[in-house]
Amino acid sequence: MVNNKALLVAVALCFPLFVAGGNTGASPSMTTRVSVASDEAKANASETEATDPRYVIVHLRTPEAPGVAALDRVDGAVQVRTVQERVLSSLTPPDFEVTYRYQLLPALAGTVSPEGARILEHHPDVLSIERNRPLQAGLSNSVPLIHANNVHALGYTGEGAVVAVIDTGVDTDNVDLADSLIHQECFMAGPLLASRCPNGSSYQVGPGAAEDDHGHGTNVAGIITSNGTTTPVAVAPGAQVEAFKIIDKNGMAAESDLIAVLDHILAAHPEIDVVNMSLGSFSEYSPGSCESVALPYNQLRSNAILPFAAAMNRGIASVHSAALRIRVGTGQPQTKWPAGLTRTRRSTCSHLAVALGPPA
């Protein structure tokens, strides 16, 4: 059963959102080989640039059915690592440069060559190959829409709940958030970002690690936990916030970084009750890809963590975002895409917005 303190925060957030179903150094879920592109892309990058087929997320098969039961952190990590090693042993560094080896989620992220794509396409442990989708900051205006004052009047303030805010970070000098911000971490190893973590690297943890250089994340965190010092009292002023920075100064992010944070939360942050992702994409999935992309959210729910993602205010109900997908072993190769992999647009995965409800 999900605990009541988390459910109160979830109820307060659910109107503008839908259920989606330290020290600095190397990220706990990152390998030592991290391929980081320079500032190639701006917020207005073309679709071809933003979904460059070299940058992929490889979803892997595991013996256990994912997203069904709560993960055992030790056994789950061993299973995932074993499958990852089998896949990587079939490749050489020029064919696949690793960005992330996820800890509990059966996937890899990195840069693939045409030859590497062909190898992965036929590997028995590979479930699917997805483009590393670009994401962008989304809805950040909600308190006036959901009548939070009515919830407060009943005595519900979110006290005791911990909310992970995956966004542009938080202004650590903001007095309205000073008593609720308890943890900061940054994952920005994805391709085509215009900026990196505050220390200039692709990973940072500790005070200042999630310093906001955009403003969106501070606004979102303020909507959730502002204490009312200089702005109106927030939806859940009694809750605490852990800020995870993945969105760059232009409001853009990479899906591989989002998955890295979700994987890290599953592996190392059992105290988190709710995950808020005010970000997304307006592109579409291709047939058969929805369930693979939904796996992190199913797994969060199985571990009694409520995941939320922005609906983006354009009538598109997707899991967290959606874009072009590379499907394994179907169709004919097309120009500009790795041999054997096909570019398609089909589904918005809207059925998952209903299927991925709160944990039982």
> What CATH number is associated with residue 260?
3.40.50
The two three-digit tokens of residue 216, written as one number:
């969106």
User: For residue 295, what pLDDT is reported?
Assistant: 86
Element (H, E) at 59: strand 55-60
The reported pTM is 0.79
In a domain, 155, yes or no: yes
> In this structure, is residue 213 part of a structural domain?
yes
Cβ burial of 116 (10 Å; 0-12, 13-18, 19+) is: buried
Structural domain including 249 reads 4-355
- Residue with token string 């490749």: 91
Distance, CA of 272 to CA of 275 (rounded, Å): 8
The pLDDT averaged over each successive group of 10 residues in the chain (360 residues) is 50 40 40 29 39 85 64 85 97 95 96 95 93 79 67 87 96 96 98 96 98 95 92 90 97 95 97 90 64 84 86 48 30 36 44 41
Q: What 3-state class would DSSP assign to 248?
A: coil
Count of domains for the chain: 1
Looking at the domain assignment, is residue 360 inside a domain? Answer: no
Tell whether 35 is covered by a domain: yes
Do residues 292 and 261 make contact, with C-beta atoms less than 8 angstroms apart?
no
Q: Is there a domain that residue 315 lies in?
A: yes
Amino acid at 109: A
Span 10-30, pLDDT tens digits = 544 543 333 333 333 444 443
Round to the nearest angstrom and report the end-to-end CA distance of the chain: 6
**pLDDT at residue 103, as a whole number:** 96
**pLDDT of the residue at 30:** 36
Q: Considering the domain boundaries, does residue 262 fall inside one?
A: yes
Does residue 169 belong to any structural domain of this protein?
A: yes
Residue 237 belongs to a domain: yes
For 269-300, the pLDDT digits (tens) are 999 999 998 887 765 665 666 777 788 888 99
Distance (Å, whole) CA 239 – CA 80: 33
Residue partners of 324: CB distance under 8 A and separation at least 6:
47, 51, 131, 133, 283, 284, 286, 343, 344, 345
